[in-house]
């Protein structure tokens, strides 16, 4: 049984979909994407739990891949995951994420991108970082997969938001210029 934290380089697999002897983990730094059948289905940032499927499934449900050098604290045993009451809370958080995803999937493409940007921004804020200036944790391909769009569409929409003066953009570095408008668009249609 490996305890304590462990490092993963960008692109490294933390665990594979279908793998037995499954375990959960907490992301402590960096960023991790969750992939299910070639589809990006989740994004875990510092503080987020991954692999909670082990609470009720015998094998991992998704593949977890580090998006940049990340530190992850592996939780192999039941006791390391805390009491059951705590487990319910963790599952609940994951459920909220899924609900959010389901809801924005119905919105038009531009709203999805806006909603995601806001979401990432909030996450940064909650970690005490700048909520207006940060690096996008996903590249265009992964972001497109996550939002259920074509990568070209994502690219076009981001430059669109830039042209409309809502954001500043240099590759993956982003600055939010008009959070109000962004937020408004994210709830549109």
Partner DNA sequence: CGGTGAATTGAGCGAGATCAATGTATGTGG
Partner DNA sequence: CCACATACATTGATCTCGCTCAATTCACCG
Residues that bind its own copies (CB under 8 A): 36-37, 39, 41, 55-57, 61, 83-85, 87-89, 91-92, 94-95, 98-99, 101-103, 105-106, 148
CB closer to its own copies out of 88 and 184: 88
Which of 124, 156, 164, 168 lies at the binding interface for DNA (CB under 7 A)? 156
Scanning residues 81 to 110, which ones bind DNA (CB under 7 A)? 108-110
Cβ neighbours, 10 Å, residue 41:
17
What is the total residue count of the chain? 189
Q: Which residue has the tokens 């082990």?
A: 54
Which region, left, alpha or beta, applies to residue 15 given φ > 0 means left and ψ of -120 to 50 means alpha?
Answer: beta
In angstroms, what is the minimal distance from the CB of 120 to DNA? 14
Separation CA 134–CA 131 (nearest Å): 7
Among 87, 148, 168, 183, binds DNA (CB under 7 A): 148
**Which range binds DNA by CB under 7 A, 42-50, 55-63, 118-126, 140-148?**
140-148
Contacted entry of DNA, its own copies, none for residue 33, CB cut-off 5 to 8 Å set by kind = none
DSSP tag of 79: G
**Residues 5-24 close enough to bind DNA by CB under 7 A:** none
- Minimum distance of its own copies from residue 159's CB (angstroms): 24
Phi, psi of 113 (to 5 degrees): -65, -45
Between CA 79 and CA 46 the distance in angstroms is 21
């Amino acid at each position: 049984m490996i305890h304590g934290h462990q490092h993963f380089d960008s692109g490294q697999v933390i665990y594979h979909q279908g793998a037995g002897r499954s375990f959960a983990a907490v992301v402590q730094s960096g960023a991790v994407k969750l992939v299910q059948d070639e589809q990006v289905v989740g994004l875990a940032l510092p503080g987020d739990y991954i692999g909670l499927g082990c609470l009720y499934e015998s094998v991992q449900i998704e593949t977890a891949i580090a998006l940049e050098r990340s530190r992850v604290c592996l939780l192999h045993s039941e006791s390391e995951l805390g009491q059951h009451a705590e487990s319910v809370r963790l599952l609940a958080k994951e459920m909220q994420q899924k609900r959010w995803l389901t809801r924005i999937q119905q919105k038009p493409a531009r709203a999805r991108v806006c909603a995601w940007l806001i979401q990432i921004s909030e996450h940064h804020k909650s970690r005490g970082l700048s909520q207006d200036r940060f690096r996008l944790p996903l590249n265009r391909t992964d972001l497109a997969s996550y939002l259920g769009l074509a990568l070209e569409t994502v690219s076009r929409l981001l430059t669109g938001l830039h042209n409309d003066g809502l954001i500043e953009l240099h590759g993956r570095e982003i600055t939010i210029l008009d959070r109000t408008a962004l937020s408004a668009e994210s709830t549109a249609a």
